[in-house]
């Protein structure tokens, strides 16, 4: 930032959502919506040439790249814009990959206009901006790290939840069946359960996987 207006990119596959964000943000004198993207791929491309300070990124698009992957692609570059996730999804399975990908902020789409504007201003200076519900969830996760699943454990359990056998999960993730069983055994221990069904139910209830 050089002291001028904060230039924004709105990335969401719903035109109505983009229009709503634009209407809210452009009431702020220091914010300008410089571009819009209907796909994650388009969002990544639009940030390549510079001129964008903050990207407001949805997590799920109609197809192709997701918001977390786009965030990682954007933030991996030098002098990249900040990325603030603006989404309806608040499970650990959504939040953690986005934060790990480099998102500076994470807000829900029902955030008040002043909270949204404040998050943009915080992000552009490198300060983290989290919706209260998201901050609470992350604090809870930090206080009970024993229940945290690794990314691979989450992938395995998500496929189990989809009804895949251990053998099918192994094929999908390029793992041996023994490795899949090992991951599941650790999941059972962390969640305090003894079966696949119980693990899926427990992880869903804790927001560790999506159903």
Q: Are residues 117 and 187 in the same domain?
A: no
User: What's the chain's average pLDDT?
Assistant: 87
pLDDT over 90, % of the chain? 55
Q: Report how many domains make up the chain.
A: 2
Tokens found for residue 91: 């499970």
Q: Are residues 50 and 123 in the same domain?
A: yes
Q: Are residues 93 and 59 in the same domain?
A: yes
* Banded model confidence at residue 31, pLDDT cuts 50, 70, 90: very high
**β-strands 105-108, 129-130 pairing:** parallel
Q: Is residue 1 part of a domain?
A: no
Question: Does residue 130 register a pLDDT over 60?
Answer: yes
Q: Is residue 173 part of a domain?
A: yes
Q: Is residue 130 part of a domain?
A: yes
Q: Is residue 210 part of a domain?
A: no
More confident residue, 97 or 140: 97
Q: Are residues 168 and 184 in the same domain?
A: yes
Q: What is the model's pLDDT at position 177? A: 92
Neighbour-count burial of 183, counting CB atoms closer than 10 A to its CB (0-12 exposed, 13-18 middle, 19+ buried): buried
Q: Are residues 115 and 155 in the same domain?
A: no
Q: Which domain holds residue 107?
A: 6-142
**β-strands 6-11, 54-57 pairing:** parallel
Confirm if 191 and 147 have CB atoms less than 8 A apart. Answer: yes
Question: Does residue 148 register a pLDDT over 80?
Answer: no
Q: Are residues 169 and 79 in the same domain?
A: no
Q: Is residue 211 part of a domain?
A: no
Q: Are residues 21 and 115 in the same domain?
A: yes
- Neighbouring CB atoms inside 10 A of 136's CB total 12
The residue among 174, 197, 183, 106 whose CA lies nearest residue 150 is 183
Q: What is the model's pLDDT at position 147? A: 62
Query: Mean per-residue pLDDT for 143-159?
Result: 79
pTM above 0.75, yes or no: no
Q: Are residues 184 and 133 in the same domain?
A: no
For residue range 65-93, list pLDDT tens digits in order.
999 999 999 999 888 999 999 998 877 67
Question: Does residue 135 register a pLDDT over 70?
Answer: yes
Alpha carbons 88 and 46: distance in angstroms, whole number = 24
Which CATH number fits the domain that encloses residue 189? 1.10.10.10
Q: Are residues 169 and 130 in the same domain?
A: no
Q: Are residues 106 and 196 in the same domain?
A: no
């Amino acid at each position: 930032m050089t002291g001028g207006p904060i230039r924004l990119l709105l990335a969401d596959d719903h035109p109505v959502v983009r229009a709503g964000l634009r209407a809210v943000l452009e009431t702020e004198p220091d914010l300008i919506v410089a571009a819009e993207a209907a796909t994650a791929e388009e969002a990544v491309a639009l940030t390549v040439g510079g001129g964008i300070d903050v990207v407001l990124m949805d997590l799920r698009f109609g197809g192709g790249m997701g918001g977390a992957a786009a965030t990682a692609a954007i933030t991996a570059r030098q002098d990249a814009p900040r990325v603030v996730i603006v989404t309806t999804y608040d499970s650990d399975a959504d939040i953690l990959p986005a934060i790990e990908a480099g998102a500076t902020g994470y807000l829900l789409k029902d955030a008040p206009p002043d909270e949204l504007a404040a998050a943009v201003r915080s992000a552009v200076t490198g300060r983290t901006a989290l919706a209260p519900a998201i901050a609470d969830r992350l604090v809870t996760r930090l206080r009970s790290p024993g229940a945290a699943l690794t990314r691979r454990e989450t992938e395995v359990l998500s496929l189990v939840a989809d009804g895949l056998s251990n053998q099918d999960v192994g094929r999908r993730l390029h793992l041996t069946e023994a490795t899949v069983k090992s991951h599941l055994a650790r999941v059972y221990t962390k969640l305090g359960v003894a079966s696949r069904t119980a693990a899926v139910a427990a992880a869903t209830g804790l927001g560790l996987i999506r159903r």
